[in-house]
């Protein structure tokens, strides 16, 4: 039975992806686009040559981190919609350190990433404290904190860091994650070392949750607050801690944009969307570290591949958003399959 | 500028920006009071905005004139309910995680709306409509001194409809048998089932109503504020409506109050530069004020909000 469950765990996402693509194809057919040609273009746009592979991997790094952020809070029973805001303050903190501090790269890069993590953690801890202390619903506070982050970071850039073109200066070379080597082996894509940071973060999340007392407590609170309280776990502390760590991951996601992809921060007219995508990535990955990495690969790949699909088959890139939504629906509805399988394997007894 | 002028500037603007939020938040009340979390409000509102923009555009082409916004509201409600039925199917019948299903709905609506916009209009946005809901004075009421000028002059009719609907929702939820059933299903579905209430049916109605109202909210946004649909027309208003609903403690009139508060704060931040004692404050503080005030209000004044007891849990017959 253990084996059967494991098989099912793998099977469900695969079937969901297949069904999502199938219905996406039907939508294309109905609206007069060639589905097979489009999907070939989509596939080539993900793994067709080293350039698009580089782009896909680059797209993955912030998605992994924002997915980890959402997943980590979920494990403690908290819904962090505020990844977007935590990402923005992390982005700003990383760029600020990158622009103003002088240090050799071995110190400068970790310092900038650390700054992003701390900024994100503080931004995430505020809803955590409000939840623990005043029982304020974290969904509202994180949404509010998103807007506060958006307007405040813009104002700080405008007042202190403004360079021509509604943006900050580039970060110093010693703080940059850009890699001429990685770029040269991928036909000068925008690939940077951020993916290593993201993968390390995934390992850290797994380690924290499954190999430490702290992780045990966090998960216990997620399962049942009252039981945890009764067992002597400090629920308030764990809620704050969980939101802070979640925020730290989100902040580091921001540093990927600041130190890697863009090398600067723009004045954002609207949200980046990476934080909201993180919710989807976490859900696809069933809130596990390895799942988040795979979910980000799928999500990032589809987003990059969509560009090729649009230019070759003329299908609007948004179709990919529809396909992703369908995949999430199917993954979500698969729980009934799990339930059925469990029931059957127990011989009809509940 | 006198104090009255300031109020006359802010209050009508507040009511205008609150209307779409009121409709959508009321939709949220229906869904969540029946025990189904609806993060999908954002997507439903977005698709309502798309439907509204398209219907008004074609309504104008067909010569419906100034009736086309009103036609679009009905169409947007129907389409919203249809879209919400996916959420209902997934989260009620198939017992999917309601948050997951809602998030999927958001992605689906955003993707589909822009996809269809590009397909239909070959552009990233719909054409700007010419038949907006027009501003008007309410007869008789606008003649009342002071109050008439503040609340009943120069405002969109939809805003009053929104306030009216909030009271209707309150009446339905608290004074009718259906409302009692809806609330009981959200608090204790098993007890409701024992009393012969069809839990699944009532929850479906709750979710479909939320889709209709959120769709209406989106269409009203297009008809009164934005004038067309682009990828950036609805960015976060649905989440704001969700926040208004929680702020209002899952109560229709509470949601109405919270939405009006958000509208007021937004109006102050937009027209703050015209107001004498607010002129000197850096703009960023006015921009973030609504959100900071909401957090402070929740932490200090309103206190803890208890969600409906069965919120987020699918109902399984016979489960203990």
What local confidence, expressed as pLDDT, does residue A284 receive?
A: 84
On whether any CB of chain B is under 8 Å from the CB of A139, the answer is yes
pLDDT given for residue B103 in this prediction: 85
Residue A179 confidence (pLDDT): 85
Task: Check: CB of residue B83 under 8 Å from CB of residue A325.
Answer: no
Q: Please tell me the predicted confidence (pLDDT) of residue A188.
A: 85
Confidence grade of residue A350 (pLDDT, cut at 50, 70, 90)? very low
pLDDT of residue A1: 44
Rounded Cα–Cα distance for residues A33 and B201 (Å)? 38
pLDDT mean across residues, chain A: 89
Q: What are phi and psi of B155, to 5 degrees?
A: -130, 165
Considering only CB atoms, B107 lies closest to which of A27, A151, A328, namely A328
| Partner-chain contact B104 A135, CB within 8 Å | no
3-class DSSP string for chain A: CHHHHHHHHHHHHHHHHHHHHHHHHHHHHHCCCCHHHHHHHHHHHHHCCHHHHHHHHHHHHHHHHHHHHHHHHHHCCCCCCCHHHHHHHHHHHHHHHHHHCCCCHHHHHHHHHHHHHHHHHHHHHHHHHHHHHHCCCHHHHHHHHHHHHHHHHHHHHHHHHEECCCEECCCCHHHCCECHHHHHHCCCCCCECHHHHHHHHHHHHHHHHHHCHHHHHHHHHHHCHHHHHHCCCCHHHHHHHHHHHHHHHHHHHHHHHHHHHCCCCECCCCCCCHHHHHHHHHHHCCCCHHHHHHHHHHHHHHHHHHHHHHHHHCCCCHHHHHHHHHHHHHHHHCHHHHHHHHHHHCCCCC
At A55, the pLDDT band (50, 70, 90 cuts) reads: very high
For residue A46, give the nearest of A269, A320, A235, A257 by alpha carbon: A320
Q: How many Cβ pairs within 8 Å bridge chains A and B?
A: 148
- Residues A248-263 have a mean pLDDT of 94
Q: Could you say which of A27, A270, A333 has the minimum Cβ distance to residue B232?
A: A270
* Closest C-alpha to A310, from A58, A33, A24: A33
Residues of B in contact with A25 (CB under 8 A): none
A227-236 pLDDT tens trace: 999 999 999 9
Nearest alpha carbon to residue B28 among B227, B161, B186, B220: B186
A139 vs B116, B119, B242: nearest CB: B242
Q: Mean pLDDT throughout A142-169?
A: 91
- Which of B21, B100, B311 should we substitute to test contact with A (largest number of A Cβ atoms within 10 Å)? B100
The answer to whether A135 contacts B303, with C-beta atoms less than 8 Å apart, is yes
Mean pLDDT per 10-residue interval, chain B, length 320 residues: 74 86 96 93 96 93 85 96 95 86 91 93 87 71 70 77 94 96 93 92 96 96 90 86 88 93 82 71 81 81 70 78
In this prediction, residue B309 carries a pLDDT of 84
Chain A residues lying within 8 Å of B246, measured CB to CB: 137, 139-140
CB neighbour class for A219 (10 Å; exposed up to 12, middle 13-18, buried from 19): middle
Residue of chain A nearest B123, judged by CA positions: A316
Going by C-alpha positions, the residue among A59, A90, A64 that lies closest to residue A252 is A90
Which are the contacts of B90, defined by CB distance < 8 A and separation ≥ 6?
A329, A332, A333, B96, B101, B104
Ranges of each domain in chain B: 3-302
Cα separation, A132 vs A240, in Å, equals 7
Contact across the interface for A321 and B110, Cβ inside 8 Å: yes
CATH class entry, domain B3-302? mainly alpha
């Amino acid at each position: 039975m253990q084996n059967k469950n494991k098989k099912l765990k793998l099977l469900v996402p695969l079937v969901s992806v297949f069904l999502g693509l199938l219905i996406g194809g039907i939508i294309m057919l109905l609206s007069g686009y060639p589905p097979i040609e489009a999907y070939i273009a989509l596939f080539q746009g993900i793994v067709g040559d080293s350039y698009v592979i580089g782009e896909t991997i680059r797209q993955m790094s912030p998605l992994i981190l924002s997915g980890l952020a959402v997943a980590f809070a979920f494990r403690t029973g908290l819904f962090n919609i505020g990844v977007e805001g935590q990402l923005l303050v992390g982005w700003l903190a990383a760029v600020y350190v990158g622009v103003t501090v002088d240090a050799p790269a071995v110190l400068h890069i970790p310092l900038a990433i650390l700054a992003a993590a701390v900024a994100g953690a503080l931004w995430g801890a505020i809803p955590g404290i409000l939840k623990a202390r005043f029982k304020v619903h974290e969904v509202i506070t994180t949404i509010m904190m998103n807007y506060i982050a958006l307007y405040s970071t813009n104002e700080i850039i405008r007042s202190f860091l403004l360079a021509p073109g509604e943006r900050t200066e580039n970060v110093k070379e010693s703080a940059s994650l850009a890699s001429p080597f990685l770029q040269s082996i991928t036909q000068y894509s925008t690939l940077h070392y951020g993916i290593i940071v993201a993968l390390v973060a995934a390992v850290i999340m797994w380690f924290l949750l499954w190999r430490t007392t702290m992780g045990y407590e966090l998960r216990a609170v997620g399962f049942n607050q009252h039981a945890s309280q009764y067992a002597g776990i400090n629920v308030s502390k764990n809620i704050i801690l969980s939101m802070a760590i979640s925020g730290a991951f989100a902040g580091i996601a921001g540093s990927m944009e600041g130190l890697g992809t863009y090398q600067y921060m723009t004045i954002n007219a609207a949200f980046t969307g990476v934080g909201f995508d993180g919710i989807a990535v976490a859900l696809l990955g069933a809130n596990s570290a390895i799942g988040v990495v795979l979910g980000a690969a799928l999500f990032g790949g589809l987003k990059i591949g969509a560009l090729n699909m649009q230019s070759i088959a003329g299908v609007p890139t948004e179709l990919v958003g529809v396909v992703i939504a369908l995949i999430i629906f199917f993954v979500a509805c698969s729980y009934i399959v799990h339930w059925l399988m469990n029931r059957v394997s127990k011989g009809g007894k509940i | 500028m006198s104090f009255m002028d300031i109020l006359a500037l802010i209050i009508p603007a507040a009511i205008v920006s609150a209307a779409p939020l009121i409709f959508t938040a009321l939709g949220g009340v229906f869904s969540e009071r029946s025990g189904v979390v609806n993060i999908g409000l954002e997507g439903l509102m977005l698709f309502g905005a798309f439907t509204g923009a398209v219907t008004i555009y074609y309504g104008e082409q067909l010569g419906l004139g100034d009736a086309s916004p009103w036609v679009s509201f009905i169409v947007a409600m129907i389409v919203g309910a249809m879209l919400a039925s996916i959420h209902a199917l997934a989260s009620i019948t198939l017992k999917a995680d309601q948050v997951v299903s809602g998030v999927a709905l958001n992605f689906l609506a955003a993707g589909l709306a822009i996809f269809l916009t590009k397909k239909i209009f070959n552009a990233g946005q719909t054409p700007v409509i010419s038949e907006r809901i027009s501003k008007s004075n309410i007869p008789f009421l606008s003649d009342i001194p002071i109050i008439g000028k503040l609340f009943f002059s120069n405002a969109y009719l939809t805003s009053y409809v929104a306030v009216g609907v909030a009271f209707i929702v309150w009446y339905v939820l608290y004074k009718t048998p259906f409302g009692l059933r809806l609330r009981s299903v959200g608090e204790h579905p098993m007890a409701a089932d024992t009393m012969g209430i069809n839990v699944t049916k009532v929850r479906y109605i709750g979710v479909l109503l939320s889709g209709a109202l959120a769709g209406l909210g989106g269409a009203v946004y297009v008809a009164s504020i934005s004038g067309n649909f682009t990828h950036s027309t609805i960015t976060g208003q649905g989440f704001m409506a969700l926040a208004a609903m929680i702020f209002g403690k899952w109560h229709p009139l509470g949601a109405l109050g919270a939405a009006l508060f958000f509208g007021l704060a937004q109006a102050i931040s937009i027209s703050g530069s015209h107001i004498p004692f607010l002129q000197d404050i850096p703009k960023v503080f006015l921009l973030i004020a609504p959100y900071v005030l909401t957090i402070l209000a929740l932490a200090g004044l309103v206190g803890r909000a208890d969600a409906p007891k069965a919120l987020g849990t699918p109902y399984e017959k016979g489960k203990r």
